[in-house]
Amino acid sequence: MSRIQLIDGSPVPEDRSHTEIDPKTGQQKGYVVLSPEERAKGFVKPVRHSYIHEKCGGRTSMGQALSETYARDPHFYSGTFCCTCGTHFPLNEFHWTDGEPMDPEKQEAWNAERDAREKREREERRLRRIAELERELAALKGSGSTVKADHA
């Protein structure tokens, strides 16, 4: 059983004829994906279907087999197709719609930055909540002494 196949399930042609570009679409005749058995071994990334080309801002969507291949092995491809430009570019020109770069070399830094940002936002929310509660507490204490004063 081969580790790889074309999207339609056929074997990858030895003469690489699947890489021929269809002049009407700019896309290859066929694209290589990991076999279903290989993909079933587990994903190391979420299964994502759409990505953005940073040069043109265009969004491209792809099918399940390609999406799962990226999720199983983010290093499998070195480039991808942009529907807006109608041609292929290196992965470092694209990011997933959730913001993560498609280029695995850039992913670690992007994730570290996101984690730091989320941590900062959590801390800001915590401080805002403390300030809110302190104001509430001060208001409660204030109204308490007013009541006491009334009954004195």
Give the residue, chosen from 30, 33, 51, 53, that forms a contact with Zn ion under the rule CB under 5 A: 53
Per-residue binding string, Zn ion, 66-105, x by CB under 5 A, is ----------------x-xx--------------------
Q: Which is nearer to Zn ion, 58 or 79 (CB)?
A: 58
Question: Are the C-beta atoms of residues 7 and 66 closer than 8 Å to each other?
Answer: yes
CB of 114 to Zn ion, least distance (A): 24
CB of 38 to Zn ion, least distance (A): 29
Range list of H helices, 19-103: 36-39, 64-72
Strand order in the sheet with 59-61: 59-61, 50-53, 94-96
Q: Which is nearer to Zn ion, 51 or 70 (CB)?
A: 51
Give the residue, chosen from 47, 56, 112, 133, that forms a contact with Zn ion under the rule CB under 5 A: 56
- Cβ-count burial of 35 within 10 angstroms (0-12 exposed, 13-18 middle, 19+ buried)? middle
Q: Segment near Zn ion (CB under 5 A), from 2-10, 51-59, 73-81, 136-144?
A: 51-59
Structure tokens at 81: 């197709």
Beta strands 87-90 and 79-82, pairing class = antiparallel
Contacts with Zn ion, residue ranges (CB under 5 A): 53, 56, 58, 82, 84-85
